[in-house]
Amino acid sequence: SSLLVLHLGRNNINNQMPHLLSSPSNLKVAILGAAGGIGQSLSLLLKTQLHYLIQANSPTNIHLSLYDINKEVIDGLYADLSHIDTPISLSAHAANDGKGGIHAALVDSDIIVIPAGMPRKPGMTRDDLFNINAKIISQLTDSIAESCDLSKVFILLISNPVNSLVPVVCNRLISHHKIDKGIEKRLLGITNLDLVRASTFLNELSPSNNGRMPYVPVIGGHSGDTIVPVFSSQSQLISTMDEPQLKHLISRVQYGGDEIVKAKNGKGSATLSMAHAACKIVTNFTNLLLGNVNSFESINYIPLLDHQNQPICKGSNELMSMIDNLQFFAIPATVTSSGVNEINYDILNHLNSYEKNELIPICLMKLKKNINSGLEFNVEEV
Ligand code: NAI
């Protein structure tokens, strides 16, 4: 018990101290859609990087579970990755593989990452993907509800359109009566690529002189005008830019995905940069669940209300009153092992007048439509 007291004391004092008592001996990360462009690159990054997070002398095993409907590619991916000399165990699963399929892929998962579904072709918006991907994601949500412990698992959704699909997953879980386990706090849409782009593009125009990449928060949603990069947070770096330059920079973050769709000329959208952005987020969650940190702050697209329309955590109500009562928004939030714990909405109080009066109103208008499409979607009618 003295260890417990010491441990709790440490937790309160220092966020970075190991969370020793609750360290699991196994951590399972499942990737649904692992055979795709993002899935393969992300699997490689996780297979080569995640073991660095295991503390010395810890008996923890990290397991990567790869799932896709494309059996041929998933088997090849597994064989290839299994020759890599890192202590991360692997398994490959496909629909109807005779070995438990998606159930075996999902059971006992701690983190589920979902890049399953169709990517954009030139001329398509993310919303054009909605019907086909909403169906795929609804079916995957059903499998998660059947196979996973919803009182602990984290669901990280990459598939587009993120703005509408996170509401689809939420609704689907409600229809399974599984939402009461607090899963809304552990359902996050991954918008980190927007932050990665904002940082990269700003650094190209105005390199910081400390050798580090600038941090630019990006809030709102993950599609065109719903993406609101908060460059005012880097006032020094943008001080040399005139208004057209700054507007161009903002637009490049909002429509950066189109540059890749166009360059790939019909062969898909961002895969490598997306895998990098997702790897950063999965690393945060792995660190958290291994007990290396007790919490972290990151920006993800999250539900603000639970299934009974109650605020999911501290800060939900305040944020909703600032964003026209929208139920989903990408915003900085503190995450603990039980999920999103506190929404740090203060960023909205520090926007400059252009961000506040021009970018946010357009974001809210479009995001509302995207959210409604998601909430109204019914897979049985497709
Ligand atoms: P891809 O076509 O290369 O891969 C998709 C994979 O999903 C394929 O292997 C396919 O077999 C698999 N799949 C389809 N239905 C499935 C099901 N029911 N269960 C399991 N797997 C299934 O596409 P890519 O480039 O990897 O993109 C995946 C998704 O990620 C797209 O929707 C894309 O728009 C989105 N995306 C999201 C970004 C973000 O910032 N959140 C950035 C870039 C892409």
Residue 340 phi/psi, 5° resolution?
-65, 125
pLDDT of residue 365: 98
Answer yes or no: 19 catalytic. no
> What's the chain's average pLDDT?
91
Is 90 exceeded by the pLDDT of residue 130? yes
Is 90 exceeded by the pLDDT of residue 56? no
Pocket of ligand 1 (CB under 6 A): 32-33, 35-39, 68-70, 115-120, 129, 133, 136, 139-140, 158-160, 162, 190, 193, 222, 268-271, 274
Nearest-angstrom CA–CA distance, 12 and 127: 44
> Is 86:51 a contact under the CB 8 Å cutoff?
yes
pLDDT digits (tens, 9 = 90+) for 231-244: 999 998 999 999 99
Q: Tell whether omega for the bond before 119 is within 30 degrees of 0, i.e. cis.
A: no
Tokens of 59: 């008996």
Is 90 exceeded by the pLDDT of residue 378? no
Catalytic residue among 19, 93, 222, 307: 222
pLDDT digits (tens, 9 = 90+) for 288-333: 999 999 999 999 999 999 988 899 999 999 999 999 999 999 999 9
Nearest CA among 278, 282, 290 for reference residue 337: 290
Is 60 exceeded by the pLDDT of residue 21? no
